[in-house]
A and B are shown apart, each in its own frame.
Chain A
Amino acid sequence: MSDATTRYRWRRPHFIENPWVRYTVLLVTVLYLIFALQMMQVSWQRVLDGIPRAGNMLRMAFPPDYGSRGRLIVRGFIESFQMTVIATAAGVLLSVPIGFMAAKNIAPLPVYLVGRAIVVVSRSLHPVVMGVLFVAAVGFGAFAGILTLIMFTIGFVGKLLAEAIEEIKFGQVEGVRSTGAGFLSVLVYAVFPQVLPRLIGLSMYQLDINLRASAIVGLVGAGGIGGTLNTAFGRYDYATAAAILLVMVAIILVTEGISGYLRRLTK
C-alpha cells in the first residue's frame, strides 16, 4: 500500500513540445501581425471619419426606392434568375461525368488525374476572379456570367460528387459486376443510385449558391442584378441600391427555404 503515498504530477502536453520552437513561433506571429497592421495603415481615425459618411448613406437609402428604376430592377433579377438556372443545369450535367472521373475508387488512374485536374482548376479561382477572366474573354454581359457560374458549379458539385462516389458501399458494385454487367452498366446500376440523393441535394444547394454568386459576378460586368446594383451605387442612387439589396435578401431567403425543403424530400 506504499504506492498510495506516491505523488503523481500531470500537466497537459504542449501542442509544440520544444519550448524554443514554441516561443519562437509565438513571437514571429505577434511581430508579423504588428508589422502588417502598420503596413495596412489600419487607423481608428479612419473608422471614426467613416461613421458619419455611412450614416449619410443610410439616410439617403431610406426609404428604399422601388419605383423610379423598377423596370431595370425587374429586368436585372430576371436576367440573374436565367443565368442561375442555365448555369446550374449545365454545370450539374457536366459535373456528373467529371465527378465520376475524379473518384479514385472507380476511375483508372489517368482518367482520375484528368478529372481531379478539372475540379482543382475550377475550384482554384473565386467566381469574381473567374468573372473578370470570362468578361475579358467573351465580353460584358450575361454570357460571361453563365460561363463563370458553370465553372463554379463544376468545382463544387464535381468535387463533392466525387467524394460521395468514393464513399459508396462497394459490395453493391460487386453484386452487379458479378452478373457480367459491363463497366457503364455497373456505374448506372450500382454506383449512380447510391449517390443520386446526394447529387440532388448538391444541385439544390448549388442553385441557391449560384443565385447569390450571380449577383456578385454582375459587379464585374458579367450581367444580372449585380450590374444594376453597381450602376445604382455608381450614381449615388442609394435608394434604388437599397431596394435591390432588400429584394435580393427576400429572394435568397425564399430560395433557401425551397431548396432546403427539396433537399429534405430526397433523403
Chain B
Amino acid sequence: MLKITNLEKSYTKGAPVLKGLNLTTDERRLTAIIGSSGAGKSTLLRCINRLVKADSGSIELDGTDILSLSGRALQDSRRQIGMIFQAYNLVDRLTVMENVLSGRLGYTGFFRGVFRKFPQEDVDRAYALLKRVGLSQYVNKRCDALSGGERQRVGCARALMQNPRILLADEPTASLDPKTSERIMELIAGITEELDLPVLINLHNVPQATTYADRILGLRHGVMIFDGNPDELTEDWLEQIYAGHEDDLKKQMKVGAAEYDDE
C-alpha cells in the first residue's frame, strides 16, 4: 500500500538526512521506527505527507506517487494520510469540536468550513470519536484549556476524522509524562486495531516500541539498517542502531523502566 523507494532528502547541500531509504508497509499493522535523534525519523514521516518535499526517490500510496503531485491532487492524497504530532499541533484557540472537524476540511467545501456547516454524518462521527477517546464532555472547550494527554487525544480524533488509509505518528508520546504516555500508546494501538488501520510511528522509547509494535524498523544516518519483529531486536542490534549515541539509548531504556516503577 505504501511503498517508498530510494528516498533522498537534504536540508543543506552535502548533508543528506535521508540517503536512499526504502520502506514497504506489509500486513503487520503497527510499525515502529526507532533511531537516535538526527537519524531522519521525523523527516521520513514528514516526507510521506509532503509537509517536507523529498529531493528524489518515490513514495507510492496505493500506486500514486505522492512526490509528483501538487495542488488539489496533493490535498486528496494528504487527506488519506492521518498524522499525529509530538506537539499535538492543534489550533489552540479553536474548540475541541472545531479541531476534530478540521480533519474533514479536505472533503468539505471552503464556505461550509468557514461557517462550520459540516455534513451531519461528519458531526456524528466527530461525536463518536470524541466518545471513543474519552473527551465527549469537552466538546466546546477550547484546546488551550486541555492537558497534554487530552490534547493528544484530540490530535488522534482529528487524524481519524480524515478516514485515513494510513496513520503517521511522529513521537506522539514524547511531550507527555510516562503514565500519560502509556495511555496514549494504548489508545493508538487500540483504535488502529479496531479500524484495522496501518500505523507508522516514530518512537524514542525503545521499550514502548517493543511492547506495542508488530514490526520494528531501525533507522541510522538516513538508511534502514534493521527490519524485523520486536523479538528479533537484540541488544546487539540496538547497539548498532544507536552506535555513537549510547547515552541516548541508555536514557530511553531507563525512562521506559522507570515508568513501571512509578505506578
- Chain A residues at the B interface, C-beta cutoff of 8 Å: 169, 171-172, 174-182, 184-185, 188-190, 193-194, 196-197
In angstroms, Cα B51 to Cα A54, docked, is 68
Closest to B83 in A: A178
Is the beta-carbon distance between A181 and B75 smaller than 8 angstroms? yes
In angstroms, Cα B92 to Cα A171, docked, is 11
- Chain B residues at the A interface, C-beta cutoff of 8 Å: 49, 51, 72, 75-83, 85, 87-94, 98, 102-108, 110, 113-114, 155, 158-159, 161-162
Is the beta-carbon distance between A179 and B162 smaller than 8 angstroms? yes
Among candidates B75, B85, B98, residue contacting A174 with C-beta atoms closer than 8 Å: B85
B18 → A minimal CB distance (Å): 19
Is the beta-carbon distance between B85 and A177 smaller than 8 angstroms? no
List 17 other contacts, CB 8 Å, given A172-B92, A176-B102: A171-B87, A174-B89, A175-B85, A175-B158, A178-B49, A178-B51, A179-B78, A180-B79, A180-B105, A181-B75, A182-B105, A184-B110, A185-B114, A189-B94, A189-B102, A193-B94, A197-B93
B72 → A minimal CB distance (Å): 8
In angstroms, Cα B88 to Cα A176, docked, is 11
CB-defined contacts of A175 to chain B, threshold 8 Å: 83, 85, 88-91, 155, 158
CB-defined contacts of B110 to chain A, threshold 8 Å: 182, 184-185, 188
CB-defined contacts of A185 to chain B, threshold 8 Å: 105, 108, 110, 113-114
Closest to A177 in B: B51
Is the beta-carbon distance between A180 and B113 smaller than 8 angstroms? no
B102 → A minimal CB distance (Å): 5
Closest to B112 in A: A185
Closest to A173 in B: B89
Is the beta-carbon distance between A171 and B94 smaller than 8 angstroms? no
CB-defined contacts of A178 to chain B, threshold 8 Å: 49, 51, 78, 81-83, 89
- Contact flag A179-B113 (CB < 8 Å), given A172-B91, A185-B105, A193-B93: no
CB-defined contacts of A181 to chain B, threshold 8 Å: 75, 102, 105-106, 113
